[in-house]
Amino acid sequence: MNTMIVNSIIIPVVGAGIGTILEIGRRQLKGYLDSKQDLIQKQQEAIKQSMGIELYNKDKQVVQEAVKTVEQLGKEFDWDGTLKHSKVLEFVAGKTGLSDTEIYNTIKATVLEVNKYKTVQK
């Protein structure tokens, strides 16, 4: 009789209890890992964005340096604005990942900055 009670009642109850505890533990672990996975994905996105910003700033710096160089050469050789613009485009061709509009806007901003320093020094 005792063997029958143990085999038919206690073992299934203990098995169900252990199964329940294991399932609760599995769900807790899965939730923890999922939360960490979200954090990892957010960190990866932040890294991608910062790399994109750094690359943009580097490309922008290339254009600015080209503009400053051409402005100096333009002063020495008395170049007009169109020739200076085309020389800048020659210097930065294939060296940046910027669009034509971004390059144009950077050129304009840098020329304004260079010209601002010219008027201050006069």
**Distance, CA of 6 to CA of 88 (rounded, Å):** 89
Q: What does each of the 122 residues of the chain score in pLDDT, given as a tens digit?
A: 677 777 788 888 889 999 999 999 999 999 988 888 888 889 889 988 888 999 999 999 999 999 999 999 998 999 998 999 999 999 998 888 888 899 999 999 998 888 776 666 65
H/E stretch holding 18: helix 11-77
User: What's the distance, Cα to Cα, between the start and end of the chain in Å?
Assistant: 111
> What global pTM score does this model have?
0.62
Residue 119: the pLDDT is 64
C-beta separation of 94 from 63 below 8 A: no
Decide: 45 and 84 in contact? Cβ < 8 Å: no
Whole-number pLDDT of residue 58: 93
